[in-house]
Structure 1
């Protein structure tokens, strides 16, 4: 596919289909686990997986840090011509080395400090053994989850989005059937869900590695001449995408603690559902950003502002569709989510609809805010991407999560609604400014 001269519309929607498939199956990992465990072990199982959720956020975010950060620079260099191939290879090599280092570090922390981590994330009493049981098989393959994110980003930027989707899809399909077999047929419960997820991750990695056997592969390992400078450049560029996932883990910890303090275990079970739905919405936003980013980055390197603006138009249309879809489902069918993830008790049925409707209002602006970080990264405006990701993921949201329950415990569910509104104002103004300035660069 020719990003610089080809027709934007078919290229964008081909990439969107591939990116959406990857995002869809990635979210299915956690959704299927939550649904199967919730049906097998009830609200406690759902609450236990809500406690484990921050660990996923950390692992995935580290893969995105090296993957998206490196792939943006890789594509921008590619847009400048074939004479820059060695430079692009250097960026890919540094991303691989950085991923290995981060994988080893995260692996060590999760294996050695699993119990303190879960306790810190809000696990208490009967939730801790459940969380540890789920993590046990996953501990053996932690690096695979990180490398899947990094490889998928580079495959999309190396004109192979279909393989990135196939890799995630193959692991996801196994996870779906494996969950049922291990959890119910083999009666393994929450441990079986973790085992299916672990095996699925290994399958995904093996499928994506076949890209390096193709003649079309341009991802080459070279000896980096400026390792630390490149690593710093990749880290700065990818930090915003990295922090989006880290922030989701931070917010989950804050919500877990505040919910247990003010609202109790039933509310935490409902929040476990919201975490998974929100992950799904977030993955839809990722798919738009991941579809647009390679095209925008290459055309930014080639100084083609009109083509960037055309990609932006289609991306914003996609964002609007996902925003309306998920907000509507939250408002008009909240019990659909509850019944998917657990067999609800009378207490859950009483509180869940209002909580989901209230929190679901944030889905109206969440996709736009996340997409904006990809857009700012693609045109090499990491400062704005940083402001958006940190504001919505920690600063504004964190303050509201801590303060709102002091006014009224149930006001906690409005924290993300207010956060997304404030952040969207800044992101929209910045997007208009930078887009208008593209033609003058």
Structure 2
């Protein structure tokens, strides 16, 4: 079967992919594994070492710190993450740089050729993107590939690749339409990335027992936070990490700087990298953690703090961090959420730090209106001072009313944060 003329630009490719499959998310590995086999991605390894990261929250920060730590130790790296904030290119980074359009297009073309080589295979937007990224990584053969699971684990497209080290950060209720609300079952799905005879680094303190059950069934070696590795609370001299190497040799690092990201995830990244066979150099680790940045995660732009947190677990972390950083003025919360997210849980978690709320409407089939979002806030006697038709409109209204000592937390969705980032860039 021949393909229609292929798009010439990245934008045209993305538009084509969005329209090509009627379902945005379709869990299952049969289709994507077949195309991966046709592409030769299962014949060898895409990198010398592979770390796969799954979880409900903390995946992005763990990946960012893994990449920063690996590059500080002189390793060549490739990272694949999703979703993106402003540019699709953000999803694939090679040696710390976003992939260029030509690299992404070459990956899409390779996927399309393999998809039609024999019985045509239908793939989702995410599946094409994942296979295209793996194609680019395999051609480059970096020292370390870090792959973030998009949704779930067991049936996610990323799971066609066997990792040397599998990481599970946290498990909470999210994406209920696909994963359900049973934490035991969600844990089993996330644990689907574990492999027999390979380390399973568990970075969450309250993971359901099903994760360990899957590890035992598969013969994966459990390396858990506060058991095999731990971190201290930060102090004037920084924080300390203790873990172990591939042969069980005790390791320790002291005087580590606060990366501005969850320290549990920093400790998890250090442990995963050590188990991947990287000798941790104290100076390199300190430099990496001091310099790591992740857009949209506790990202401060003047008085504005942007975070993509969109479930109660993430919102609780945000509230804790802001309580540790009191301000002299008011804390405004600009909140925009999708309709399938737990708005009530997020609002309850943020209520202790919110002096005033600005709710904003998002676009699309899954959108939630500003008025609908304001209802559960008002039910908790929260002060909803404005409802806006878009994140940008809410930000413009709020900008005109901020006092110098005030601060704004923007959260609730990747779409909300992306819109405010774009607004900030446009306004300089």
TM-score (norm 1): 0.30
Structure that is richer in strand per residue: 2
Q: For CA contacts below 8 A with separation 6 or more, give which structure has more relative contact order.
A: 1
| Alignment TM-score, normalising by the size of structure 2 | 0.30
> As a proportion of its length, which structure holds more helix?
1
